[in-house]
Amino acid sequence: PFSPYRVSRNSIAASVTGAYPSPRMRHFFSRFFVSGLGLLLADAVLDGIRFDGAASLWIAALLLGVVNAIVRPLVILVTLPLTLLTLGVFLLVVNGAMLALVAWIMPGFSIESLGSAVMAWIIVGFTGLLANWLFGERPRVEIHTVKR
């Protein structure tokens, strides 16, 4: 029978043994790496952001991903009326607060003020936007013809 997917024994063995990371894991690690670079850039540019070392920076990037996946949606839901009232500008405060929460959890990461956290979040966000623009998947158009 016809199959649109070509599968060989080598690709099956590699996926079963974990030789190739799954697309979700590649996406997770790329977002983790981009967040770490954004935090590194924020640390270099802003005076109000400080990391004690490289390990604390990468742990903060990992925690930021966890906080954004779990806490941030709940906070956005609770603050939805205020976000609508400010036409979305309050989301900057929410994002900065998520970064401040990570700094509060981690002993090797400090933020002086909410303003520094918001500015750091803008830098991290633009780093992610730039990485998506440069390395993200491009939209594509597919044309399928059906013969009857």
Q: Give the pLDDT confidence of 105-116 residue by residue, as tens digits.
A: 999 999 999 999
For residue 20, is pLDDT > 80? no
pTM of the model: 0.74
Q: What's the whole-number average pLDDT of the chain?
A: 85
Residue 78's pLDDT is 96
SS3 percent helix, strand, coil of the chain, rounded to 5, is 70, 5, 30
Residue 131 CA, distance from chain mean position: 11
pLDDT tens per residue across span 24-63: 777 788 888 999 999 999 999 999 999 999 999 999 999 9
- In the three-class reduction of DSSP (H, G, I as helix; E, B as strand; rest coil), residue 86 is classed as coil
Q: Which pLDDT score, from 0 to 100, does residue 3 have?
A: 47
Measure CA 11 to chain center. 29
